[in-house]
Amino acid sequence: MCNQIDDKRRYHAVGLGYSAIDYLGIIPHFPAENKKLELKEFEIQGGGPAATAIVTATRLGLRTSFIGIAGDDSFGQKMLHELKREGVDISSVIIEQGGRSQFAFIMVDEATGARTILWTRGSLPFIKEEQVNREMILSADILLIDSLEPKAAACAAGIARENGIPVVIDAGTLREGVEELLALCDYIIASEVFAAQISNNGSVEEALHIIHSYGPKVSVITLGERGCVAFSDSGLINVDGFKVNTVDTTGAGDVFHGAFLFAVLQGWNLYRMCVFSNAVAALKCGKLGGRVGIPGIAETLEYLSILKPDLKFEILV
């Protein structure tokens, strides 16, 4: 809980993983082969699972830092500028001289907000274990990792676990090395895609039990507008999502993870954690891109006071 944090720690949350620049456009429909379409709206924003989650945690009021890698090109410069502008400490980001940074092209369907993402790591190598800032990990009250930097994430999670720092993973896709990471995590938050992959297209409940067999305190599968399902020693809970006028679903899962970091540090029960995280992710979907629509804590609490008036959210940060 944040009112009982070790004074030696400088950050509430530290994230390690993937950061990128997103080029996003709203289109009237997905194009047929060899056709042209005029964009209805266009944005350039920062993106990436761990980076967007940490931006979310920052918007909600946490002190944060990000560990990642970027090139020294214009994409990398913009990526770091956006994180710094949000208030995220970027002193542990590795700069690859002459490197081409990560970026994505994202097409968003005007009618549904569904998106298609084309992405690349550029020319950047994976972060090496020896490049992970140990002191930065030890400065955190909670650590977030994603599955896109598996060796560095395993190193960071190992440091955190040895020192009693809870670890949250964004399990988006069942990539090589991810299952080894799951055993190092206290909170596993998986996408519906990941759930289908790990359970060989089994039910959500079957996937949840498989995920929980890796030993976390809490396992969660996010289900988009349908909310999420979660499992702990207290049993399984289904938590409905919130209906919003969806413009773009890009980054909604990433935002859920950032909100979940905040919720864990408040010491709330699992149901409140999930309701809060669903609300923050839903509010994000009202604008184009993964970050522009991320709400602050005041907006989120006002939204919840209207839609969940019987639930109280005591804020300790």
pLDDT along the chain (317 residues), means of 10: 49 97 93 88 95 98 98 97 97 97 94 91 96 97 96 97 98 93 97 97 96 97 96 96 94 97 98 98 96 97 97 90
- What is the domain partition of the chain in residue ranges? 8-30+38-307
Q: In what order do the strands lie in the sheet with 187-190?
A: 64-67, 11-16, 140-146, 167-171, 187-190, 218-222, 228-232, 235-239
Q: Which helix (H) or strand (E) element contains residue 119?
A: strand 115-120
Q: Which residue has the tokens 């410069």?
A: 77
Residue 301's pLDDT is what?
98
With b for 16 or more beta-carbon neighbours within 10 A and e for fewer, the 67-77 pattern comes to bbbbbebebbe
- CA distances 273 to 81, 89, 229, Å, are 30, 25, 12
This prediction has a pTM of: 0.94
Q: Cα 266 vs. chain centroid, distance in angstroms?
A: 18
Residue 32's pLDDT is what?
83
**Burial class of residue 290 in the structure, from the number of CB atoms within 10 Å of its CB (0-12 exposed, 13-18 middle, 19+ buried):** buried
Residue 2's pLDDT is what?
34
**Residue 311 is encoded by which pair of tokens?**
């639930």
Residue 214's pLDDT is what?
97
Residue 5's pLDDT is what?
40
- Amino acid code (one letter) for 264: V
Task: State the first-to-last Cα distance of the chain, in angstroms, to the nearest integer.
Answer: 9
**Residue 143 is encoded by which pair of tokens?**
């650590």
| Whether the Cβ atoms of residue 168 and residue 177 lie closer than 8 Å to each other | no
Residue 1's pLDDT is what?
31
Q: Which CATH class is domain 8-30+38-307?
A: alpha beta
Q: Which residue has the tokens 């350039």?
A: 44
Residue 8's pLDDT is what?
54
Separation between Cα atoms, residue 3 and residue 122, nearest integer Å: 41
